[in-house]
């Protein structure tokens, strides 16, 4: 990975603004008035105990889940929840946001190359030749060009997750969302994925990362957000929070995960 993973101009990066976001599933209030700001080109890490609403928040940002109320702004596109969303609004927002899941969500019947090229053809209208050229360039930069004609099942978990990252990047997103991308991987394999994410952060891509990797949250992110019980309980400089949390709930959580 000698070449930069991404060569988009920095002015294409988008900030993300979330204001007074609420989401319930029946009587379960998962997000309780969440507001946060992500600067263009910065990395925000979301940490906290299971069930705190981190993944739901991420899924609301690209509208895989529809918030009950509040606003989401990515770049110059603003979505106001609470009413019917038009297809054009959804498309405008999703074109700006790439997402990488815990599970890789690759098409098992497609080759690696087609997994990366096909979404470009469908969403961006690129020709097959153009899409495959872009796919091969990105696969080469994450060390997987030799896997282009194999199927996902022939690749390791770490390789599949890197392919999923490449697939999202190939669509030229202005921000990237990661939902615990290493949680399904063995620690040694997860390092491969974290290396790609670190390089991506170095390019200036706007990133929101739900993670249990505390070293990544401390050393790579610019801003740390701690969630519990559907609320943001603390946020700020990652190193300061890791070394001297102000909230007792944050202290208990960090003590539990750092003392393992």
Tokens of 195: 């290396």
The pLDDT confidence band at residue 22, using thresholds 50, 70 and 90, is: very high
In the chain, DSSP finds a helix count (H) and a strand count (E) of 9, 10
Total-model pTM: 0.92
Compute the distance between CA of residue 88 and CA of residue 36 in angstroms, rounded to an integer. 25
- Specify the CATH class of 10-258 in words: alpha beta
The set of residues, in sequence order, having a beta carbon less than 8 Å from that of 36 and lying 6+ positions away, is 17, 18, 44, 225, 232, 235
The set of residues, in sequence order, having a beta carbon less than 8 Å from that of 159 and lying 6+ positions away, is 144, 147, 192
At 226-253, the pLDDT tens digits run 999 999 999 999 999 999 999 999 999 9
At 57-92, the pLDDT tens digits run 999 999 999 999 999 999 888 899 887 778 888 888
Instruction: Give strand pairing partners of 34.
Output: 21
Nearest to 79 by CA among 91, 38, 34: 91
- Helix ranges (H only) for 4-98 are 54-61, 87-94
Phi-psi region of 79 (alpha: psi -120 to 50; beta: other; left: phi over 0): beta
Q: Name the residue with tokens 């890197």.
A: 162
The pLDDT confidence band at residue 10, using thresholds 50, 70 and 90, is: very low
Residue 49: φ, ψ to 5°: -65, 160
Domain borders along the chain are: 10-258
| Predicted pLDDT of residue 189 | 82
Compute the distance between CA of residue 78 and CA of residue 76 in angstroms, rounded to an integer. 7
pLDDT at residue 4 above 70? no
pLDDT at residue 36 above 90? yes
Compute the distance between CA of residue 189 and CA of residue 165 in angstroms, rounded to an integer. 15
Compute the distance between CA of residue 8 and CA of residue 128 in angstroms, rounded to an integer. 21
| Predicted pLDDT of residue 220 | 93
Characterize 136-168 residue by residue with b for buried, 16 or more Cβ atoms within 10 angstroms of its Cβ, and e for exposed: bebbebbebeebbeebbeebebbbbbbbbbbbb
Local structure of residue 228 (DSSP, 8 states): E
């Amino acid at each position: 990975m000698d070449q930069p993973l991404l060569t988009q101009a920095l002015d294409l990066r988008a900030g993300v603004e979330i204001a007074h976001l609420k989401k319930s599933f029946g009587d379960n209030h998962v997000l309780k008035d969440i507001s946060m700001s992500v600067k263009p080109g910065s990395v925000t890490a979301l940490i906290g105990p299971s069930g705190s609403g981190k993944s739901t928040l991420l899924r609301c940002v690209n509208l895989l889940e529809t918030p009950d109320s509040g606003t989401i702004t990515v770049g110059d596109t603003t979505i106001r929840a609470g009413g019917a969303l038009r297809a054009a609004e959804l498309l405008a927002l999703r074109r700006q946001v790439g997402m990488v899941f815990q599970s890789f969500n690759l098409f098992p019947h497609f080759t690696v190359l087609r997994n990366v090229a096909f979404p470009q053809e469908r969403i961006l209208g690129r020709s097959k030749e153009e899409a495959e050229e872009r796919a091969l360039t990105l696969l080469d930069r994450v060390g997987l060009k030799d896997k282009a004609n194999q199927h996902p099942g022939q690749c390791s978990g770490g390789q599949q997750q890197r392919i999923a990252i490449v697939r999202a990047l190939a669509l030229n997103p202005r921000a990237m969302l990661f939902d615990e991308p290493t949680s399904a991987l063995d620690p040694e394999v997860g390092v491969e994925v974290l290396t790609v994410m670190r390089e991506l952060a170095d390019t200036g891509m706007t990133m929101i990362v739900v993670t249990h990797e505390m070293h990544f949250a401390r050393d790579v992110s610019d801003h740390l957000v701690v969630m519990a019980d559907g609320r943001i309980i603390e946020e700020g400089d990652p190193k300061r929070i890791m070394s001297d949390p102000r909230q007792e709930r944050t202290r208990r959580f960090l003590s539990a995960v750092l003392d393992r």
